Amino acid sequence: MRLMQSEVSYDLARQQRKSKNPWEAKIWRCLRNRKFYGFKFKRQVRIGVYIVDFCCDEKRLIIELDGGQHNSIDAKIKDLEREVNLKNKDYKIMRFWNNEIDNNMEGVLENIRKFLLD
């Protein structure tokens, strides 16, 4: 029996929620359980055919964390295509590099706060 794309995506999202990388874990500690200014965030959320790292539906905000694999030309093209599709669904995307999470977490959180409260 062949699984449909949506079934695979739900399985993959579920799998990714169970195993987070260190940068996702670090920012998730700040965003989870409405800790961040009372906004509800979810992680590894399926939106259409995409799975996003973090999403606040109330503000239509997606937060993506990028590692070095996002530096290649192919990855940049895929990321751009993905962003266009998500923006067409009225989402705003904020992207942060993993090293920003390590070296400037306060700045990352301030940028998110500004978006949410402005």
pLDDT tens sequence across 3-48: 455 554 556 545 544 456 899 999 999 999 999 999 999 999 999 9
Please state, in angstroms and rounded to a whole number, the distance separating the CA atoms of residues 98 and 70.
11
pLDDT tens sequence across 61-77: 999 998 856 556 787 78
pTM exceeding 0.75? yes
**Which domains are present in the chain?**
5-117 (3.40.960.10)
- Which residue has 């999470």 as its token pair? 101
Please state, in angstroms and rounded to a whole number, the distance separating the CA atoms of residues 36 and 10.
26
DSSP H/E element including 23: helix 22-31
